[in-house]
């Protein structure tokens, strides 16, 4: 019984709470200072949420950049190809 993934009480509630605000936080839409502080504190201490935030950030950047470069079409083609491959 040492599997960390099976101990919901110690980690998960914090992570779930952070995750709730993570998207808004990464998007800069989280204006409530308490929530921002809470998330930043949690990210400081929780590696999995930290990397999750990094991923969200990167996705955001890509979305923003791709929006400028008419990438939706490229993305659409890629998705179509993915679907065809299935």
DSSP string over 18-74: HHHHHHHHHTT----HHHHHHHHHHHHH-HHHHHHHHHHHHHHHHHHHHHHTTHHHH
> Does residue number 15 form part of the binding site for Zn ion (CB under 5 A)?
yes
Exactly one of 22, 26, 39, 49 binds Zn ion (CB under 5 A); that residue is: 49
CB closer to Zn ion, 16 vs 79 = 16
CB closer to Zn ion, 46 vs 71 = 46
> Does residue number 46 form part of the binding site for Zn ion (CB under 5 A)?
yes
Q: Which tokens hold the place of 51?
A: 């990397």
Residue ranges binding Zn ion (CB under 5 A): 15, 46, 49
């Amino acid at each position: 019984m040492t599997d960390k993934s099976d101990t919901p009480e110690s980690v998960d509630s914090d992570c779930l709470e952070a995750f709730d605000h993570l998207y808004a936080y990464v998007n800069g839409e989280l204006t409530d200072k308490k929530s921002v502080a809470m998330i930043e504190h949690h990210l400081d201490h929780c590696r999995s949420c930290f990397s999750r935030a990094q991923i969200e950030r990167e996705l955001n950047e890509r979305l923003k950049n791709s929006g400028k470069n008419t990438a939706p079409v490229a993305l659409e083609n890629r998705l179509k190809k993915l679907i065809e491959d299935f």
